[in-house]
Amino acid sequence: AQSVTQLDSQVPVFEEAPVELRCNYSSSVSVYLFWYVQYPNQGLQLLLKYLSGSTLVKGINGFEAEFNKSQTSFHLRKPSVHISDTAEYFCAVSAGGSQGNLIFGKGTKLSVKP
């Protein structure tokens, strides 16, 4: 079975500062990794995903994430955040195939202050 741990429940940061949201996973099989964003009172939107290949994945809105197999991590980064990045971010893992359900972490609330 897979599991996901998001190490920070809340991350406050000032506008234009860099940010890193941490995600660790556990799995006995190869997995696919995802980051989703949820703006207030909305559904989830896919930011980026890692399936295979290059371990640095670029997504929408200037976000990127790096897959580290040895540390079983998939941290999300942005070099300079904006007020509009204020949202909740979810890391998720999928084993693919018939077991392709997403298993989510508990989320990290990013709060960008002016």
Partner 1 sequence: NAGVTQTPKFQVLKTGQSMTLQCAQDMNHEYMSWYRQDPGMGLRLIHYSVGAGITDQGEVPNGYNVSRSTTEDFPLRLLSAAPSQTSVYFCASSLQGAYGYTFGSGTRLTVV
Question: Measured from the CB atom, is 46 or 56 closer to partner 1?
Answer: 46
Helices and strands (H and E) in the chain: how many: 0, 12
Question: Measured from the CB atom, is 45 or 84 closer to partner 1?
Answer: 45
Task: Tell the smallest beta-carbon distance from residue 7 to partner 1 (Å).
Answer: 13
Residues 107, 9: contact at Cβ < 8 Å?
Answer: yes
Question: Measured from the CB atom, is 4 or 19 closer to partner 1?
Answer: 4
Q: Which residues of this chain interact with partner 1, rule CB under 8 A?
A: 6, 9, 32, 34, 36, 42-46, 49, 51, 90, 94-107
| Token couple for 74 | 């998939």
The Cβ of residue 98 has, within 10 Å, a number of other Cβ atoms equal to 6
Task: Tell the smallest beta-carbon distance from residue 18 to partner 1 (Å).
Answer: 25
Establish how many alpha carbons lie within 13 A of residue 1's alpha carbon, considering only the half-sphere containing its beta carbon.
4
